[in-house]
Amino acid sequence: MNSLPCGNFSHTLPYAGMNMSWIYYSLAMLFSGYDEIKIYINDTHNATSNVVTIKFIIMESPCENEGICEGKNDSSFPLYPCQHPNRAEGFDKYYRCLCKPGYTGIHCEFEMDECVSSPCTEPHVCYNQINGYKCACPQDDPKCDFKPWIVAVGVVWGLMFLFIILAALYRCKVKKSMSSLYHWSWEDLNAKLF
């Protein structure tokens, strides 16, 4: 550890903290509530310290999937912030979980299944994702979007488009050649007649 185990209380130690030997214990608490630890110290001369009682509170935090604790705004109880010791007495009485999008449940323990409403059209299937879904081809038919009749329709439309373009070009050419055949002016007509 990089810091003294007593943290802000180091100034009350009988000796400088760096000149003392320390034993570290980690406790895994699988409950919430109030608890205490009693400690005494023996030195090498068999001298014993006074019993030191450390009382602590283990606050319940049941929100899952990054849910956030929020105090209940209930008229029968005052609104307690999530850091208040009342969390040790029971989370659900004074608090609730605010779930991230895509999760639901009292403690945000369930992922919402957006595919329940069947939002995808045939031949696609719905793949549930966190806070959303994806419509795609089934895994056993990854090319479900490709249909041979779509290619045939595309070819027919392409040929029709080409035919229309060629017909328009032919018409323009015929019109141009016809206008040069029948093109004359008043001067030409006067010269022929007189």
Distances (CA, A) of 40 to 4, 43, 44, 46, 55: 18, 10, 14, 12, 15
What is the per-residue pLDDT for 42?
77
pLDDT of 1 reads: 45
The predicted pLDDT at position 41 comes to: 79
Peptide bond into 142 cis (omega under 30): no
Task: Answer whether 0.75 is exceeded by the pTM.
Answer: no
d(CA 107, CA 23): 37
Asked if residues 101 and 108 have their Cβ atoms less than 8 Å apart, the reply is no
Residue-range domains of the chain with CATH = 7-112 (2.10.25.10), 114-146 (2.10.25)
Residue pLDDT tens, the chain, 194 long = 455 555 555 566 666 666 666 677 676 666 677 788 888 877 777 788 888 888 877 777 889 999 999 888 766 666 778 888 877 777 888 888 999 999 999 999 999 999 999 999 988 999 999 889 999 999 988 888 777 777 788 889 999 999 999 988 888 877 776 665 555 555 665 665 55
pLDDT of residue 8: 56
User: Which of 60, 3, 8, 68 lies closest to 31, judged by CA?
Assistant: 60
**Cα–Cα dist 128/119, whole Å:** 11
Q: What is the pLDDT of residue 157?
A: 92
DSSP 92-107: HHHEEEEPPTTEESTT
Q: What is the DSSP string of 137-160?
A: --TT-TTTT--HHHHHHHHHHHHH
Whole-number pLDDT of residue 188:
60
